[in-house]
Structure 1
Amino acid sequence: MTANIRTLFDEDAIAARVAAVAQEIAEGNPRNLLVVAVLKGSFIFAADLVRAMHRANLEPEMEFIHLSSYGAGTEGSENIRVLRDVESDVNNRDIILVDDILESGRTLAFARERLIGRGARSVRIAALLDKPERRKAAISADYVGFACPDKFVVGYGMDMGHAWRQLPFIGYVVASEDEAAADGKTGA
């Protein structure tokens, strides 16, 4: 798969913001904390976030939920499937639901309601990126890494058709030569 990718947030900016989000979470004094990462896109953010939480004197447990609404494409779907569910007892626990990007909000609203329905004391959302102009569900993040422009982003765990998750930065895909020329002010 060939595409031009422009840097949106570099490694240093991401590291600084992840540390700040962990500190914001710590200031909320969560009890019996469980971090639930939404797979697959959030895995790098979630790993860095729990390490930053440790440095902020939190001792979270970690779990995963794997939900599918995108498949291999680029457009979200209203169909949400549970591919892997949280195995831990969530009853009376403070939960931080971690996702790579809050866009339509459907997936996170689904996951949040699922955890609340199982008796979680609180469910707060930490989203690395927030695209409020794309919101379809009435939900917002409690902790946000960055506001995201309306571009298709990749890297730092996020993909396009299963490619570019490994990039250490967050970039956006420039689809055509004309778009790349018009966007020449942003370098990779």
Structure 2
Amino acid sequence: MLKHHTVFEEQIIAARVEALARAIADDLPEPTPVMIGLLTGAFVFLADLVRAMGRLGIEPHVDFMAVSHYGRSTASSGLVQLHKDSALELNGRAVLVIDDILDSGRTLSMVRAHLAARDPSWLRTCVLLDKPSRRQVAINADYVGFEVPDAWMIGYGMDAYGQGRGLPYIAAFEAPEQANLGIEYHTQ
């Protein structure tokens, strides 16, 4: 297993997902929005958010998009590629994009612009983690779970080199080049 430090434990994540679901439900213009998860890292977050919204009487339609710019590295290539688009009709619909991490902003910016061109009536973004220190494109998510330091996060669906997705908590992966970052992690 990868060397890592727990940042957010299961109970903290669950409480935050419930709070995000309530905030989103309060803002939704309709009870049947389209929720689009960005694969692969957001699948656990999306599933928990869909269930939390269901408990609030929201019945979303769910789809996925696959985009990438990391490949087999922890350094972004800078080029965002769309591998799978949403197959749902979005014209006139309320659409919520779900991602695991807002980092450079390239992915979320590209996806948001791509979906806006499909003319939804309401388009918002929700990210589990936000790393504002890494932003290279001027974009902010409408709903944010947690702000995190500049470290590679694993667990709760997120991975590094294919490992760590199944961890029930969120942790900072200590890559060899990150070993001396001087960041202190704690359970919140």
Taking structure 2 as the reference length, what is the TM-score of the superposition?
A: 0.91
Contact 1:36-1:98 within 8 A present in 2 as well: yes
Deviations 1:109-146 (A, max 9, x none): 11111111011112111100001111111110111110
Contact 1:116-1:122 within 8 A present in 2 as well: no
Contact 1:34-1:63 within 8 A present in 2 as well: yes
Deviations 1:63-86 (A, max 9, x none): 100001111110122211111110
Q: Give distance in 2, aligned partners of 1:100 and 1:185.
A: 19
Deviations 1:1-20 (A, max 9, x none): x5321100000000000000
Structure 2 residue aligned with 1:160: 160
Q: Give distance in 2, aligned partners of 1:25 and 1:47.
A: 15
**1:60 counterpart = 2:60:** yes
Q: Secondary structure at the match of 1:41?
A: coil
CA RMSD of aligned residues (A): 1.9
Q: Give distance in 1, aligned partners of 2:43 and 2:23.
A: 20
Q: Give distance in 2, aligned partners of 1:93 and 1:76.
A: 32
Q: Secondary structure at the match of 2:88?
A: coil
Structure 2 residue aligned with 1:16: 15
Structure 1 residue aligned with 2:93: 93
Runs of 4+ in 1 over 6 A off after TM superposition: 182-185
**1:39 counterpart = 2:60:** no
Taking structure 1 as the reference length, what is the TM-score of the superposition?
A: 0.91
Q: Secondary structure at the match of 1:97?
A: strand
Deviations 1:10-52 (A, max 9, x none): 0000000000000000010332410000000000000000000
Q: What is the letter of the counterpart of residue 42 of structure 1?
A: A
Q: Give distance in 1, aligned partners of 2:125 and 2:185.
A: 33
Cα displacement (A) at 1:169:
0.3
Q: What is the letter of the counterpart of residue 39 of structure 1?
A: L
Q: What is the letter of the counterpart of residue 66 of structure 2?
A: H
Change (3 A) 1:184 1:142: closer
Contact 2:28-2:94 within 8 A present in 1 as well: no
Count of matched residue positions in the alignment of Structure 1 and Structure 2? 184
Q: Secondary structure at the match of 1:82?
A: strand
Change (3 A) 1:179 1:50: same
Structure 2 residue aligned with 1:139: 139
Q: Give distance in 2, aligned partners of 1:29 and 1:3.
A: 39
Cα displacement (A) at 1:174:
2.5
Which 5+ residue runs of structure 2 have no aligned equivalent?
none
Q: Give distance in 1, aligned partners of 2:186 and 2:19.
A: 25
Q: What is the letter of the counterpart of residue 84 of structure 2?
A: R
Identity, % of aligned positions: 41
Cα displacement (A) at 1:173:
1.6
